[in-house]
Chains A and B, each alone.
Chain A
């Protein structure tokens, strides 16, 4: 069995003492940032990247992956305990999870979320292990037009799932693509939009934009709000283990959620978010007691939690096999690989099997750790939420400042980050969502290169994108997606979903 051999290689890497340590550290840090409001995985990964140069690439990626799903998990903890979803994908969990907590069943809700996520994570890991190799083989057939079409599809996905008006999200992607044009042209070596500033000739580092827009801009926006007094309803959590009836209701929901998550997670855009929303509506439709949803139905926690975790796993498939990010977090992971001298793409699996399989198996290890780690630590997370923001934000700022400086030991980067702090706050104020911008920024240079190569190949004939079947299929999918959000019925549904989300 190839699969078993591969998994064995993986476990040799991921179960080494050092890598177990990094997976643990990542899961712990991820949970921490998921619990703390206003600090998400994007800001955290951006903050930590500069200090990871010294780590071995495999260990660094294992730790980053740990942060990614740790944050998903931490987000659901706060969603259940205080009705504050730490992450966009845990918004749905708050609907029924928080109601369960109010009924004194916080422990059961947390355990359901943990066990559901673990189950979904296990299945998701197997799916990634089974489907990544054939997809990577297929990826070798990809030429410039296919890559361009896929990235186009990814950007359209990001737009469809962004909140707010279509034109604004699309503009943010285009603005991101344009910011990515501040560099030296890869083909002709002409410096573009650098105004003679040598630092700009290499382009702006994506960490600077991520940090400026997501951390600093967010801090300014938070400080501008009147100090909110977060009420912690649940001070102690008892009775973790779900009863037999809970199990009977939660298990099928978790299984269906996992399936949905595995399928939807691969889609470019924001897979886990879509998966959790889809699972919630599915469970509500299938339930014999739909009226209990929103009032503490356990299936409403188990389904979406499993779906979002399974989606978080399979979101790694396009990144691992094609080197193409499907979300801003994945884009940061790709950036991390490039920083460490690994060119992401289908060749990673053959040229660096220990890293490839180590990363996949570490996802499972990380999920196991999340269960072991989080159930006993819930009390600590509850306490953490009582730390006043006036101590928290200077700490976030301080660590970010060190991170930006040490990117290349250059103060120009710090000034750049200050500029993006202002821009990020402006975005926030004007209701422009920054996540599509970051995705566009990362994909910009890759997209341009593949577009120009395709056009060179086709001697300027744009029809090359529909003449090749794989490219045509992806362009068609993108067009269908765009048309779909233009349709009134789906548009209304989408608005409803985001209205719920903003609460």
Chain B
């Protein structure tokens, strides 16, 4: 058996450790661990997890409106219910991963790019609403100008020229060439 030798620590060292008592692992281990649990380390995974879990639960709940049947006679709700549950579980797995240490770069999701979003979606909604009402020859170039406005490099002259060329081209290809059934003039 080895005998233990008592060696006193130097005084300066003891004073230092006393002065830094807040940093000793014993005292702060608990809040530190808590912080580790609560911190979202990956915003993208956090948001994806929630979205997918919500989608899964909604589909599963929706599926209960249709007959579930049983394994021998699966009803219309059988497959979507199972899938909804699987998706919800996967969503939770991803959500849990968002808190794990080393779960990616922790890159922020960032701001919403309103301009391109409104430009593209707005142009589509505009096209859908006005095509049957104003006809192709008015609504189509307008759609192109709205889309172009979604870009930061928007210039009226370029957008109008582009609209003119594309309208003529589309007229030639889709209406003259392929004879698609599209209303041309205001109804």
Contact = CB atoms under 8 A, between A and B. Distances in A.
B124 A171 contact: no
Contacts, number: 195
A39 to B, nearest CB: 15
Contacts of A421: 120-121, 124
B152 A223 contact: yes
Contacts of B120: 216, 219-220, 223, 397, 421
Interface in A397-418: 397-399, 401-402, 405-406, 409, 411-412, 414-415, 417-418
Interface residues of B, number: 73
B36 interface: no
Contacts of A102: none
Given A390-B154, A406-B174, A411-B131, A418 B115 contact: no
B79 A171 contact: no
A394 B52 CA distance: 32
Given A171-B94, A185-B76, A223-B113, A462 B125 contact: no
A193 B179 CA distance: 35
A425 B110 CA distance: 13
Contacts of A249: none
A415 B128 contact: yes
- Interface residues of B: mostly helix, strand, loop or mixed? helix
Interface in B106-145: 109-110, 113, 115-117, 119-121, 123-125, 127-129, 131-132, 140, 143-144
Contacts of A165: 45, 94, 97
Given A174-B86, A394-B148, A397-B123, A422 B117 contact: yes
A50 B129 CA distance: 20
Given A174-B90, A223-B119, A394-B162, A418 B70 contact: no
Given A390-B153, A406-B174, A460-B72, A178 B80 contact: yes
B30 to A, nearest CB: 30
A170 B90 contact: yes
A192 B124 CA distance: 27
A188 to B, nearest CB: 5
A414 B122 CA distance: 11
A429 B63 CA distance: 29
A188 B65 CA distance: 14
Contacts of B44: 429-431
Interface string A218-246: 01100110010000000000000000000
Nearest to B116: A223
Contacts of A393: 147-148, 151
A477 interface: no
A175 interface: yes
A192 B143 contact: no
Nearest to B84: A178
A181 B79 contact: yes
B186 interface: no
B174 A452 contact: no
Interface in A246-270: none
Given A192-B63, A223-B115, 9 more contacts: A188-B67, A190-B67, A193-B62, A394-B147, A397-B147, A430-B44, A430-B47, A460-B71, A461-B71
